[in-house]
Structure 1
Amino acid sequence: MDQKKPHVLFIPSPAQSHIKCMLKLARLLNHKGLSVTFINTQTNQKRLIKSGGTRWLDDTPNFQFKTVPDGLPSATEDDAVEHTQTVVELWSYMGTNFYDSFLDVVSGLETPVTCIVCDGFMTYTNTILAAEKLKIPIILFWTMAACGFMGFYQVKVIMEKGLVPVKDESALTDEYLNMEIDWIPGMEGLRLKELPEFMRYSKLDDHLAFKFLLETAQAAHNVSHIIIHTFEELEDRLVKGIKSIFPNVCTVGRLQLHLNQIAEKEAKNMNLNGYSLLKEEPECVQWLQSKEPNSVVYVNFGSMAVMSLQDLVEFGWGLVNSNVYFLWIIRTDLVDGEPAVLPQELKDAMKEKGFVASWCSQEEVLNHPAVGGFLTHGGWGSIIESLSSGVPMICWPVSGDQQINCRQMCKEWEVGMEIEKNVKRDEAEKLVRVLMEGLEGEKMRKKAMELKKH
């Protein structure tokens, strides 16, 4: 590492979308002349290397990875058994052990750290306390939209207004859940049920997720600067609202487009993909090559969302019955508690128009001219990548900020439609047809293309 360059240390939350987003920002800062140290858990770093997610590193000076333990047993790179743990187990281990491991990593670095960029969801590991101990400035990076951040921040506000906790679950009526929240600029008419589901809890619950969100969102007050992964043309009023609460807020725009511009401007053959913990299958793009422009709907519910086998089957028949070409990413762990195995009859019906894979390079797929729509879970990484490609969406939100992302996408940005939580094949078929063939879908496509140009 170059001793003369400022040295930035990145701490991502140990999840695919967070790592991917922070790696993109890290690469941009590295390109601007900063040295970068990026901290992954040992298991995620092995997965990243195994999937080819670090293949760009050879051509990137002053960029290094360091690892911290995650509670899983060490394994060699060719170990056939991939040890796993639940999210709760991982977060429990990190909450207890990350602080000391992090201090050990910093003490072993050859060059002093100038600044720490920490994922907003990693403050529970005492990263702010560690930065204070080391006397290093720390910035929180929220790898989500302004609406997502503001949604999480409302935990404290809603408590202060006495809306939570409710007496018991019987109080979670439709009237309560449809209550309008009118105090957030840029999200007028937002309903209580569109905020993260962790907020709907009763006094009888020992709701750890609620407590975590409360503490995490409020930690933003304990640092001097925060970064949000959005662009102001999309969320102008929300960003202004956040800036009225926090003194120093920076938006970083669409990171992938920044990287694309560097490659074009400098005529570099930069590898702009390769951030995945999962093995990407090139056959996906090869299959798209023979398809007409805007003729394929891309289906991917992200790296962590799960569904029932019934939902999977309903989506499958909806796609088949729409008679539209579709590229469907079905992870091996997509179905909750059982293998993602489709009925043979559905498999046979899908052969004519569908192509199924376990993972792909999402930016490459979304930017392919054959792709005209995206059926997504509404994770912010997926939405901003779709907006960066000018592709309209159908959204099936599962948890966290996905509901509020979906709400903004449909009502404020007018680039998508929502599908009901309890999936029915007829509704899936109808929405796919509207998205890919209807006038409404064409309007959303034009709107998405306009946002791409901003």
Structure 2
Amino acid sequence: MAPAHVLILPFPYQGHVIPLMELSHSLVEHGFKVTFVNTEFNHARVLQALPNEGGNLKGINLVSIPDGLLPGEDRNDLGLMTEGFTKVMPGHLEELIRENNEKGEDTIKWLIADQSMGWFFPIAKKMGVRIACFWPASTACLAINLLIPKLIEEGVLDEKGWPKREEMLQIAQKMPHIHTSQMAWNQIGDPRGQPTIFKLVTDNTKYMELAEVTVCNSFYEIESGAYTLFTNLLPIGPLLPDSKFNKPLGLFWPEDSTCMSWLDQQPPKSVVYVAFGSLAIFSEVQFKELAHGLVLTGRPLLWVVRPDFTTGLSKEWVDDFLEANKEKCRIVSWAPQQQVLAHESVACFMSHCGWNSTLEGLRNGLPFLCWPYFTDQFMNQSYICNVWGNGMKMETDESGIVSRERVKDRVEELLASEEIAKKVQELKEFAARNLSIGGTSYQNFKRFVNLMMEE
């Protein structure tokens, strides 16, 4: 029997592409053929970032479609991007499926789409393609999205998604508290895009009804509260298709793997790893305070600084900083993060708390210093600091800056905490058990694969 052909459709941002690429590799191992759809802009970045030999993409065909934006328009603007791709992508996706299936072989039987792309579910269903919904963030975040009508009815939110009451909210036991002002759709950067994002969220929760199954990149032990509320959601995480780190993950920037040999030279559990994901931006003042604070710890530092990470900072300042601290400091534009976090020399992870980073640090038994930037990252911080107990929050002063002294003190507090060290180890063991034969996520993934193999 020919392998089933699956179309994979991520929301067009790095944090969504990575877990669906991880899932794609796992599906290929089970005999599926995968067509992975990126926007033209992201597709070009992924191809450029692949290793020289093209990477191990066996069984995965990378294709692209337009995103509706003009060259030079800001693709980090969530509202603008959403307006663009929801207008042009449906037609191109429909054409892609039709052209493929009219050939009569390798028919696309399944669509596995990011829940944020649920607007395509009605079209796929009309074309006879079966639908699986994929949720890449915390299940708690999805649970709140699903409860928006109830939150509006109870007067927590208004009809536009803005808070009517300023309060800490917990929708179930063992779920994180979140302030009503920090709902993911209200934390997108430019508030002018909020109506577009809120409409996308509410529409897509309705489209989920068209999917036969919703799978989540999470596992039961860390989000039991959310899975108690919504028993139909299927946790299959933390996704880990390649323990040897040989398979490409659809990265938008080339990895600087030279930092791995630098890590080899550092003592065990000594390095502070700092990475704030693909979208966070720091002011010049905050960047300098962070840099000086990290030096004050006296520990080796591996810091990911994208070219667009800060505004107004001169290259000369960074060069001088590196020269003055060359013995203990390494800065790279993008790191092979999963390899870094698995390295024995890394002591802790200062992070924006994106869900991928959260799971990767948790799986590798690392304590967190939390510095969220936008969307769901504040809820992930609440999980880490208030529910799981495997990290601490970075706190600003009255001017809104995390001072160098606070950076130094927080690193020392984190690494001195025996309670956090114990929690970190427990969570690492939970993750490993789920991925092992017989684990809950292992069994759920088998159920998912068996469903998609049905004739």
Q: TM-score, normalised by structure 2?
A: 0.84
Q: CA deviation at 1:73?
A: 6.8
CA offset digits 1:284-316 (Å, max 9, x no partner): 111111001110010000011122222211211
1:25 to 18, 23, 26: 23
2:99 is matched with 108
What does residue range 200-279 of structure 1 map to in structure 2 within 5 Å?
207-243=195-231, 248-256=232-240, 258-260=241-243, 271-279=246-254
CA distance in 1, matches of 2:317, 2:130: 51
2:42 to 41, 44, 48: 44
What does residue range 128-147 of structure 1 map to in structure 2 within 5 Å?
128-147=121-140
Is residue 2:113 matched to residue 1:118?
yes
Q: CA deviation at 1:350?
A: 3.5
Q: Is the 8 A contact 1:116 1:136 kept in 2?
A: yes
1:69 is matched with 66
Is residue 2:411 matched to residue 1:436?
no
Is residue 2:268 matched to residue 1:293?
yes
| Equivalent residue letter for 2:291 | G
Aligned sequence identity (%): 25
Relative to structure 1, the CA distance from residue 86 to residue 144 in structure 2 (aligned partners, 3 Å threshold; closer, same or farther) is: closer
Relative to structure 1, the CA distance from residue 430 to residue 154 in structure 2 (aligned partners, 3 Å threshold; closer, same or farther) is: farther
Q: CA deviation at 1:131?
A: 0.9
| Equivalent residue letter for 2:310 | V
CA distance in 2, matches of 1:33, 1:182: 42
CA distance in 2, matches of 1:339, 1:165: 44
Q: CA deviation at 1:438?
A: 4.5
Superposition RMSD on alpha carbons, in Å? 3.2
Q: TM-score, normalised by structure 1?
A: 0.84
Q: Is the 8 A contact 1:99 1:127 kept in 2?
A: yes
CA distance in 1, matches of 2:185, 2:395: 16
Relative to structure 1, the CA distance from residue 441 to residue 55 in structure 2 (aligned partners, 3 Å threshold; closer, same or farther) is: farther
CA distance in 2, matches of 1:327, 1:211: 39
Q: CA deviation at 1:437?
A: 4.3
| Equivalent residue letter for 1:161 | E
SS at match of 2:273: strand
Q: Is the 8 A contact 1:391 1:445 kept in 2?
A: yes
Structure 1 stretches of 4+ with a deviation exceeding 6 A read 337-341
Q: Is the 8 A contact 2:273 2:350 kept in 1?
A: yes
Unaligned regions of 5+ residues in structure 1, if any?
75-81, 264-269
SS at match of 1:259: coil
Further displaced range: 219-228 or 331-340: 331-340
Relative to structure 1, the CA distance from residue 83 to residue 198 in structure 2 (aligned partners, 3 Å threshold; closer, same or farther) is: closer
Q: CA deviation at 1:188?
A: 6.5
1:376 is matched with 351
1:359 is matched with 334
Is residue 2:381 matched to residue 1:398?
no
CA distance in 1, matches of 2:256, 2:56: 22
CA distance in 2, matches of 1:300, 1:134: 42
CA distance in 2, matches of 1:372, 1:326: 10
CA offset digits 1:245-282 (Å, max 9, x no partner): xxx421111111x532xx7xxxxxx7234531101101
Relative to structure 1, the CA distance from residue 92 to residue 63 in structure 2 (aligned partners, 3 Å threshold; closer, same or farther) is: same
Relative to structure 1, the CA distance from residue 327 to residue 54 in structure 2 (aligned partners, 3 Å threshold; closer, same or farther) is: same
Q: Is the 8 A contact 2:269 2:346 kept in 1?
A: yes
Further displaced range: 180-189 or 100-109: 180-189
Relative to structure 1, the CA distance from residue 59 to residue 94 in structure 2 (aligned partners, 3 Å threshold; closer, same or farther) is: closer
Relative to structure 1, the CA distance from residue 318 to residue 166 in structure 2 (aligned partners, 3 Å threshold; closer, same or farther) is: farther
SS at match of 2:242: helix
| Equivalent residue letter for 2:200 | F
Q: CA deviation at 1:53?
A: 6.0
Q: CA deviation at 1:55?
A: 5.2
What does residue range 189-200 of structure 1 map to in structure 2 within 5 Å?
189-196=177-184, 198=186
Count residues with an aligned counterpart.
423
CA distance in 1, matches of 2:64, 2:170: 44
SS at match of 1:165: coil
CA distance in 1, matches of 2:145, 2:51: 30
Q: Is the 8 A contact 1:302 1:379 kept in 2?
A: yes
CA distance in 2, matches of 1:66, 1:46: 10
